[in-house]
Structure formats: structure tokens, C-alpha cells
Chain A
């Protein structure tokens, strides 16, 4: 029994079967990659996992509890954090403020009206945020305007913001899309480091095979909304069905 169990999930957009009988089991504390050609249903699947889309049929269980019908913030509270394809950070705020928000959210739950308390007095929160920035090697940038950072650093900050909540499952949607080679490698190293340091499960949707084969322990190949195969990276590399799915699409 995996930490994330997807069973017989179907999702239809009009005449398009975006997901057809998807079964997926992500084992606790592994790095599981979901790959597939364009239009394979990867993003739809991810949106089902985080509560943005509700599937037509099927079930999605996280740690024994159903995520279906819950709002994104409730799913996040269950322990699933999401990293977006384009880094979603609070661009108007400074780096340290960006980092403080998920820590506040974790401490206060859904709502606490501390309108008269001064943020400067939240020593514990600031300390945790600075500690997190240090582990990301971003301590020097703490007062920088976050919108002005490079894409690689925004991604680094976004991953850090997710980790600050101590999630059990980290979902990444093409984390290196549109990145320079150096930034891509830095992101891979960061994810490897996270894997070593934390008891965390990582599910990653990715196009870049370099990233997939550097990180993944299990790989699921999606094609036309259905899982084709699920196996270890070594077995996937030479799998004829995978080649067909990819080459067939590009040919």
C-alpha cells in the first residue's frame, strides 16, 4: 500500500478522454516520476491530486484518506505540497516574507486574526524562515525583492516554501521547464539533498529525461491518458512500448 493510491480515475473534457482508468501507487519515501508525451494527461492527473479538478470516477487516497472533494488548502494541510510549472511565489514580497507565510500557515492553521501583533515580534517564525533560507543557500538574499530573482532562484525559493510546511508528499510539475542547464542541475542537486535529509515522498512530472533519470526510483509512463508501464528507470530506458509512445508521437 503506497502513500498515494490512485484507483480507476477517469476524467473527460467534452469529447476528450483526458484520463482513462488511471491506476497509480506511489510508495512512501521514494522519488516517483510520471513521464509521457505532450497531451498524455500528466497535468490533468496532477490537478486531480491537488484538488483543482474532480475526476468523473475513481478514487484518490493519500495516507488512507480520500482527497476527493477537498479544497486545495485542505489537501495541503493533509501533507501534500505542490510546486508549479512556472514558479508561483509572492512576487510583491521580500524573500524572507515569502518564507514566513507557509510557516505562519502551518502554525496558525486556516485562520488566526493577529492583526495587532507586530511581525517583527514573531521571533520564532523569523528564525525558522532564516534557517530554511540558510539551508537553501539564500540567506544573503533575504531582503531582496523576490520578483527580481532569476528563475532558478525563484524555483529554489518555491521548493523551500513547500518544504517549510514539512509535507509528506512533494508534487513537482516540470520543475526545470524553461531553465538554463546550470539552474537545472542546481535544482536536481537540491532535490537530491532534500531526498537525503528528509522523510519525504517526491512525485515529479517531467519532460526532461536528464532530470528524470537523475532522480527517479520509479517511473510511470502515461500515454493518451492511460498508464503504459511502471518500472525502474533502467527497465524503462529500453522498454519498447515507451519508445513507441515517444517516437510515435514525434515521428
Chain B
């Protein structure tokens, strides 16, 4: 189907079903229960982040997973996409489609320039160059191009770029009917519109913005599968495997790696445009180097070079970040109330550093555990489990057929 083989089609369909039913899957606990407070993730803001960061990491994986070039500046494209989209909302109108298109074009142009220079080097030097470019972009956005007093105020500095009632919005709708700021929409459907469904004590929220993002994520995922399975993808994997042999195979690798860099930059710009479309606000912190690091972490967490890994990694990271920052000392006391008081206080005292504002620490530990025990990321964990089951099954089959095939 759609030019994919059976295995890839199945994967695409599974991801599509997961995305479609995410409001159910992510809300397993009844509304109002203490478990729901902590572990339910089926609210629009978080679901949007799942799929948007999914897109970002899918794109990053096209570069890092296929060519092995580790970009440490991908957040720059995310930020550039965000600013472009907000400018589109300020100047043109509140429809998200032109905004998303502009964010892809602008980040693509930046990726072409940054990639052209950075790809002159490989390995660690490439990473450092991309990091330097990203920090340059960050500083431009934060101070140089963001001085509200100057006439070149493109980014509005540390306040961040916001909509205002004085914006032109030449396609109309500069001010909503109530006289407040208009909202982003997709041909009239407001991004923040939600439909709620109550079944028993469960409450499920279906958000228009989420479904738009999820649909775009599915297209992005489909394109990434096509790239992975194409001759172009094969060439990129060959570059990762042995650049030396590639150079002596009559092939100029530069256009291939540059194309991969630009595609991946466009993905990041698309993600940035979507972030702004969901909430029309763009700040320089999106381009900070820690944001670039987080993209790398999400990719490695999920499984570099695998198709589904980026989505898993992005979801895992966002979910745990969200939960861990919600847990605080009183919640811990509540959970551990069955213990003797002294012990309870001691354990809470230790765990205190890992939850709430200390969520970085827990996520860091989780990341280390995954890297040490599952170098191939969470996808490798899944593969190991499925192999365990499959081996049991084939052993049974082999016994029945009374002949065995040599083990690999």
C-alpha cells in the first residue's frame, strides 16, 4: 500500500491507530481520581507535544540515524520555524496553513546555509559547528534582533514574539468578534476547540489542534519511511557505514548529506511552526543549546536509525518530564503513608531530589539506564522482548517438525 511493503504498512497503520485513539489510550484512569491527576496524559497540550516532538525527532533521525552526522543545533530550526509562523499570524492571518508552510521554507533556507558550511567537516567538528550556529541563532533571537526599541525587532527578545491587537493581518480577522486576540484556526476550525466525551467516570478530550498535528505527524512518518527504504536512504546509510569507501566509489557524498540535513531542518521547522500554531507565542529559549541536547536525547532514547524509535523517544521523554514534574513531597508522603514515619521521611527526603523541579535528575538516570542496558534504545528493548516470545514459538515448531535449523 502507498508504495510500502507489508511490514512498513503495518507499522504505519499501527501508528495511525495509536494517534487516532490517543485520547483514550492516554487516559486510562477515571477523571478526578488521584491516579488520573498524576498519570493521565490525555489532555490537549501534552498530546500536541507528543506528536510535534515526534515530528521533530523523526526529522532529526533522518540526519543522525541515516548519515551518522550528529547535529547539535537542531533546536535552531525549531525556533526559526516558530518565529516564522508567528510572523505569518501577525501579518497574514490566523489560518495555520500559510504559517506552517512559511516555517518550513524559512527553516529549509537556514538549513541549507548552515548545512553547507557545517558539512565541510565530519564527526565531532560537525557537531561543534552546528552547535555554534545554533547558539548564534539563539543570541540573535535573544538580543540582537530582539530589541523592542530598534526598528529590526524580529523576535521581541526575552519577552518572546506575541500577537497584538495592532497587527495588520491583511486577510482580515485582526480582532476577534469579542474584541480580544483572534485564535489560530484551520479554515475556521479553531485549534483550541475540543469535544469532550464522558463515559462513566471517564472523560476523554478530542482536540482539533491535536488531530491536525497527528495527521501531519503521520504524513511526516510516511515520508520518513519512504526515505529510509529508498536508494537515497541506502546512500545515506552507506555514508554512515564507510565514508572512505563511498569517496572511492565515484560518488560525491556532499549533496546527499546536505539534502538529508535540509530535509531534517525542514522537519524541525515544521515542528516549530506547529508549536506556534497551537499556541501563537515564540521565545528564544526554544533555540537554546539545551533544547538541541534534548532532541539528541529523545532520538537516542527511542532508538537511532529505527523508524519508530523517534516517536517512542519523544513520547517517553515528554510523558516522564510531565509526570515527574507534577510529583511533589506531599504526593510522595501520601504514597508512602503505609511506612513507619521515620523511614517515610527519609525516603521522601531522598526522592525529593528526583521529582518536581528535580525531574531532570530522574530523566538523566532513566537515560543512563537505557544507554547502558539497551544501546539500541527502547526499540531494542521491544525487539528483545518480541524475540524472546518468537524464540519460544519457533522452538515449539521445531520440536513438532522434529528437525531443527542451525542457530545463527
Query: CB of A13 within 8 A of chain B?
Result: no
B248 to chain A, nearest CB (A): 5
How far, in whole Å, are A118 and B232 apart by their CA atoms in the complex? 9
In the assembled complex, which residues on chain B have CB atoms less than 8 Å from the CB atom of A56? none
In the assembled complex, which residues on chain B have CB atoms less than 8 Å from the CB atom of A50? 248
In the assembled complex, which residues on chain B have CB atoms less than 8 Å from the CB atom of A101? 234-235, 238, 246, 249, 251
- Segment from B30-38, B81-89, B163-171, B223-231 that makes contact with A: B223-231
Q: A102 with B241: in contact, given A114-B231, A115-B230, A118-B226 (CB under 8 Å)?
A: no
Closest to A76 in B: B250
How far, in whole Å, are A162 and B286 apart by their CA atoms in the complex? 47
How far, in whole Å, are A72 and B233 apart by their CA atoms in the complex? 22
Number of residues on chain B facing chain A (CB within 8 A): 32
Q: Is the CB of B249 within 8 A of A117?
A: no
Q: Is the CB of B230 within 8 A of A111?
A: no
Q: Is the CB of A115 within 8 A of B248?
A: no
In the assembled complex, which residues on chain B have CB atoms less than 8 Å from the CB atom of A92? 237, 240-241
* Of listed B5, B235, B242, B250, residue having the most chain A CB within 10 A: B250
Interface string of A91-127 (1 = CB under 8 A from B): 1110001001110111010110111111110100100
In the assembled complex, which residues on chain B have CB atoms less than 8 Å from the CB atom of A104? 231, 234-235
Q: Is the CB of A114 within 8 A of B245?
A: no
Q: A117 with B231: in contact, given A88-B242, A110-B255, A111-B252 (CB under 8 Å)?
A: yes
How far, in whole Å, are A69 and B234 apart by their CA atoms in the complex? 29
Q: Is the CB of B232 within 8 A of A105?
A: no
Query: CB of B394 within 8 A of chain A?
Result: no
Q: Which of B227, B237, B238, B240 contacts A115 (CB 8 A)?
A: B227
How far, in whole Å, are A77 and B244 apart by their CA atoms in the complex? 15
A129 to chain B, nearest CB (A): 11
Q: Is the CB of B252 within 8 A of A73?
A: yes
In the assembled complex, which residues on chain A have CB atoms less than 8 Å from the CB atom of B248? 50, 72-73, 76, 81-82, 88
In the assembled complex, which residues on chain B have CB atoms less than 8 Å from the CB atom of A90? 237-238, 241-242, 245
In the assembled complex, which residues on chain B have CB atoms less than 8 Å from the CB atom of A72? 247-248
B238 to chain A, nearest CB (A): 5
Q: Which of A71, A76, A81, A114 contacts B230 (CB 8 A)?
A: A114
B332 to chain A, nearest CB (A): 45
How far, in whole Å, are A157 and B4 apart by their CA atoms in the complex? 29
How far, in whole Å, are A97 and B226 apart by their CA atoms in the complex? 17
Q: Identify whether the interface residues of B are mostly helix, strand, loop, or mixed.
A: helix
Q: Is the CB of B230 within 8 A of A102?
A: no
Q: A77 with B231: in contact, given A92-B241, A116-B226 (CB under 8 Å)?
A: no
Closest to A115 in B: B232
Query: CB of A89 within 8 A of chain B?
Result: yes
Q: A119 with B229: in contact, given A92-B241, A93-B237 (CB under 8 Å)?
A: yes
Query: CB of B259 within 8 A of chain A?
Result: yes
Number of residues on chain A facing chain B (CB within 8 A): 38
Q: Is the CB of A119 within 8 A of B230?
A: yes
B259 to chain A, nearest CB (A): 6
Q: Which of A91, A115, A116 contacts B242 (CB 8 A)?
A: A91
How far, in whole Å, are A84 and B245 apart by their CA atoms in the complex? 9
Interface string of A64-85 (1 = CB under 8 A from B): 0000000111001100011010
Query: CB of A165 within 8 A of chain B?
Result: yes
In the assembled complex, which residues on chain A have CB atoms less than 8 Å from the CB atom of B255? 110-111, 113
In the assembled complex, which residues on chain B have CB atoms less than 8 Å from the CB atom of A222? none
In the assembled complex, which residues on chain B have CB atoms less than 8 Å from the CB atom of A117? 230-232
Q: A89 with B245: in contact, given A113-B259, A118-B3 (CB under 8 Å)?
A: yes
B350 to chain A, nearest CB (A): 43
In the assembled complex, which residues on chain B have CB atoms less than 8 Å from the CB atom of A158? 245
Q: Is the CB of A120 within 8 A of B249?
A: no
Query: CB of B256 within 8 A of chain A?
Result: yes
In the assembled complex, which residues on chain A have CB atoms less than 8 Å from the CB atom of B230? 114-119
Query: CB of A161 within 8 A of chain B?
Result: yes
How far, in whole Å, are A158 and B244 apart by their CA atoms in the complex? 13
In the assembled complex, which residues on chain B have CB atoms less than 8 Å from the CB atom of A91? 241-242
How far, in whole Å, are A89 and B242 apart by their CA atoms in the complex? 7
Closest to A146 in B: B241
Closest to A101 in B: B238
Q: Which of A88, A97, A113, A116 contacts B244 (CB 8 A)?
A: A88
Closest to A164 in B: B249
In the assembled complex, which residues on chain A have CB atoms less than 8 Å from the CB atom of B259? 113, 115
In the assembled complex, which residues on chain B have CB atoms less than 8 Å from the CB atom of A71? 247, 252
Closest to B260 in A: A115
A residues whose Cβ falls under 8 Å from a Cβ of B: 50, 71-73, 76-77, 81-82, 84, 88-93, 97, 100-102, 104-106, 108, 110-111, 113-120, 122, 125, 158, 161, 165
Given contacts A88-B248, A104-B234, A114-B232, 5 further A-B contacts (CB under 8 A): A104-B231, A108-B231, A113-B232, A116-B227, A161-B249
Instruction: List 4 A-B pairs, minimum CB-CB distance, nearest first.
Output: A76-B250, A111-B255, A92-B241, A90-B241
A–B complex contacts, Cβ < 8 Å, 14 sampled: A73-B248, A73-B251, A76-B248, A88-B242, A101-B234, A101-B238, A108-B231, A111-B252, A111-B256, A113-B259, A114-B231, A115-B232, A118-B5, A118-B226
